Amino acid sequence: MAIAVLAFTAGLWVDSALAKVSGRAVRTLKPLGALGRDSLVLANYMRDAADSFMRQDATPLFAEGFSLFIRYEKFGFALPRPPERFSTNERLRMMAQYFTMIGQLLFDGHDIEARQTAKHLSTVLPSQDFSSDRDRI
């Protein structure tokens, strides 16, 4: 995972360097847009980990997820609280769902809609079933 984050960071750096050389404008993200981008990246990792057949330690993903939740709280977003009965994979899927939906809205610049959706998701997500057939085996 560290390699993927490093590769992503290197890609951003190379893109900005090439933009300066070619003279094209670099798209700068507002803080909420950057939060949306970070959320989308992490959501993909979480979804892949939850759907993986291999057992793996999800602690780094949860740490990054909670870090994003802190950033969301600083901007006043409502957050879902997973029930205690959720397994690790169910928690990963729930967080990935939240990060995907809110992250895409923020990345696209729809701040008001993202806040409204976050408020709705904070009550709806904890009551959904995020288990898969693999979790029941």
Residue pLDDT, tens place only, 79-113: 988 778 888 888 889 899 999 999 999 999 999 99
Residue with structure tokens 């803080």? 31
pTM score? 0.71
Q: How far is CA 48 from CA 28, 42, 51, 72, 124, in A?
A: 28, 10, 5, 23, 23
User: Is residue 37 predicted with pLDDT exceeding 70?
Assistant: yes
Show me where the domains of the chain are located: 29-136
Q: Report pLDDT for 26.
A: 47
Residue with structure tokens 């949306």? 36
The sign of the torsion formed by the CA atoms of 32, 51, 127, 65 equals: negative
User: Is residue 55 predicted with pLDDT exceeding 50?
Assistant: yes
Q: Report pLDDT for 38.
A: 95
* 111-120 long-range Cβ contacts below 8 angstroms, 24+ apart: 111/32, 114/32, 114/36, 114/77, 115/76, 115/77, 115/78, 118/72, 118/77, 118/78, 118/79, 119/78
d(CA 29, CA 75): 16
d(CA 16, CA 13): 5
Q: What percent of the chain has pLDDT over 90?
A: 45
Read off the pLDDT of each residue in 25-46 and give the average, rounded to a whole number.
85
